[in-house]
């Protein structure tokens, strides 16, 4: 399967003063802009080249496209500026902000998104990158990031809302196992605690595989502090999403990124993620993000399949 991404505006759709602001940051006129797919923001996502040959990645959005997106861009800009050089992430070149439009100008990553379904070697590259991030001390500038267990506290309570008002198409296995699923998810919040830097939104379109066989993580607005293995687990969820037959459990047992996890802690967090995706998927789509609910539904189904296999096994 291939996800259906939200439609985006392009560089040419930006108001002239926004383009001028970006060009001032880059020091030259933009002569080429190539739109990128992926994600659910209605704003731009363009690789640009200037008249001097400089390359960058530009993402811009306004309140008219989605009222919450400018604040998300501002948060991402602040986080990107504070990420240590050792973290495999784009560096922030500059930010344009007129109070309505917010544009982030980031270093352009010379790479491509992972091949889907995921290839074994590329999964290893990303797990290695996530381990490196988890082992990087959180810099003082990011010490005030939200705690992962706090940020997902309400999301992990999704099963209680589903119990009160089950979706019409809810998986019968879910309805028959709500007691255990709810207990697992509630207990799973404590497994999210930790002192590691967490990206919190790991999926294929937020990963770039570089020419030198590395992996770079992009889109950092949801960064938090928490469990050292949460990002690695959500990577495996994405692997299962595109290939339900993938033996992701072998990764849990073999990769150092999961060294501090246990079979039970993984089940607890998977139940919490399934609660979040299943509950969120039935909500109306946010303005400008028409495809996000379908993707959340697909993620929920993938997590439930995996968790069901683990509990049965």
Say if residue 102 is in the same domain as residue 118: no
Say if residue 162 is in the same domain as residue 302: yes
Residue whose pair of structure tokens reads 């968790």 in the numeric block: 307
Using DSSP, state whether 194 is helix, strand or coil. coil
Say if residue 102 is in the same domain as residue 231: no
Rounded average pLDDT over 259-269 = 98
Question: Does residue 6 sit within a domain?
Answer: no
Say if residue 123 is in the same domain as residue 233: yes
Say if residue 65 is in the same domain as residue 186: no
DSSP class of residue 11? G
Question: Does residue 2 sit within a domain?
Answer: no
Residue 185's domain spans which residues?
112-312
Domain boundary among 68, 91, 108: 108
Q: Give the tens place of pLDDT for each residue, 284-305.
A: 998 888 899 999 999 999 999 9
Work out the pLDDT band at 239, boundaries 50, 70, 90. Answer: very high
Residue 71 pLDDT exceeds 80: yes
The predicted pLDDT at position 287 comes to: 87
Question: Does residue 17 sit within a domain?
Answer: yes
Say if residue 122 is in the same domain as residue 73: no
Residues 6+ apart with CB under 8 A from 276: 152, 155, 156, 158, 300
Q: Give the tens place of pLDDT for each residue, 14-62.
A: 999 999 999 999 999 999 999 997 778 899 999 999 999 999 999 999 9
Domain boundary among 67, 90, 108: 108
For residue 195, what are its two tokens?
């002192």
Residue whose pair of structure tokens reads 């990963």 in the numeric block: 207
Residue 133 pLDDT exceeds 90: yes
Domain boundary among 50, 83, 108: 108
Work out the pLDDT band at 80, boundaries 50, 70, 90. Answer: very high
The predicted pLDDT at position 216 comes to: 98
Say if residue 133 is in the same domain as residue 153: yes
Mean pLDDT of the chain: 96
Say if residue 96 is in the same domain as residue 136: no
Work out the pLDDT band at 85, boundaries 50, 70, 90. Answer: very high
Give the span between the Cα atoms of 299 and 40, in whole angstroms. Answer: 14
Question: What CATH number did the domain enclosing 67 receive?
Answer: 3.30.200.20
Say if residue 100 is in the same domain as residue 178: no
Say if residue 143 is in the same domain as residue 20: no
The predicted pLDDT at position 5 comes to: 66
Question: Does residue 4 sit within a domain?
Answer: no
DSSP class of residue 115? P
Looking at the structure of the chain, the number of domains it has is 2
Degrees (nearest 5) of the Cα angle 100, 200, 262?
170
Question: Does residue 200 sit within a domain?
Answer: yes
Question: What CATH number did the domain enclosing 303 receive?
Answer: 3.90.1200.10
Residue 2 pLDDT exceeds 80: no
The predicted pLDDT at position 168 comes to: 86
The predicted pLDDT at position 144 comes to: 97
Contact yes or no for 28/208 (Cβ under 8 A)? no
DSSP class of residue 166? -
Say if residue 120 is in the same domain as residue 202: yes
Residue 112 pLDDT exceeds 70: yes
Q: Give the tens place of pLDDT for each residue, 155-186.
A: 999 999 999 999 888 999 999 999 999 999 99
Question: Does residue 256 sit within a domain?
Answer: yes
Question: Does residue 257 sit within a domain?
Answer: yes
Say what the pTM is.
0.95
Question: Does residue 209 sit within a domain?
Answer: yes
The predicted pLDDT at position 224 comes to: 98
Say if residue 60 is in the same domain as residue 198: no
């Amino acid at each position: 399967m291939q996800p259906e991404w939200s439609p985006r505006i392009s560089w040419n759709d930006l108001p002239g003063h926004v383009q001028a602001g970006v060009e001032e940051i880059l020091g030259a006129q933009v002569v080429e802009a190539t739109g990128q797919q992926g994600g659910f923001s209605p704003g731009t996502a363009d690789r640009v080249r200037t008249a001097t040959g400089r390359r960058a990645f530009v993402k811009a959005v306004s309140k008219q496209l989605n009222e919450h997106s400018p604040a998300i861009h501002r948060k991402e800009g602040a986080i990107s500026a504070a990420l240590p050089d050792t973290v495999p992430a784009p560096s922030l070149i500059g930010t344009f902000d007129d109070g309505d439009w917010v544009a982030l100008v980031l270093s352009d990553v010379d790479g491509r998104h992972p091949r889907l379904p995921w290839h074994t070697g590329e999964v290893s590259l990303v797990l290695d990158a996530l381990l490196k991030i988890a082992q990087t001390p959180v810099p003082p500038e990011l010490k005030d990031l939200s705690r992962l267990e706090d940020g997902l506290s309400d999301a992990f309570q999704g099963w209680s809302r589903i119990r009160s008002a089950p979706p019409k198409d809810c998986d019968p296995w879910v309805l028959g196992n709500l007691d255990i699923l709810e207990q697992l998810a509630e207990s799973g919040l404590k497994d999210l605690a930790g002192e590691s830097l967490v990206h919190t939104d790991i999926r294929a379109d937020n990963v770039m595989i570089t020419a030198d066989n590395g992996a770079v993580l992009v889109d950092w607005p949801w960064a938090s502090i928490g469990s050292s293995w949460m990002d690695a687990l959500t990577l495996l969820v994405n692997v299962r999403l595109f290939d339900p037959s993938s033996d992701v459990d072998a990764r849990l047992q073999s990769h150092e990124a999961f060294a501090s996890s246990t079979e039970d802690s993984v089940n607890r967090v998977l139940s919490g993620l399934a609660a979040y995706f299943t509950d969120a998927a039935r909500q109306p789509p946010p303005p400008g993000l028409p495809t996000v609910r379908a993707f959340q539904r697909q993620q929920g189904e993938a997590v439930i399949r995996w968790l069901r296999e683990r509990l049965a096994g």
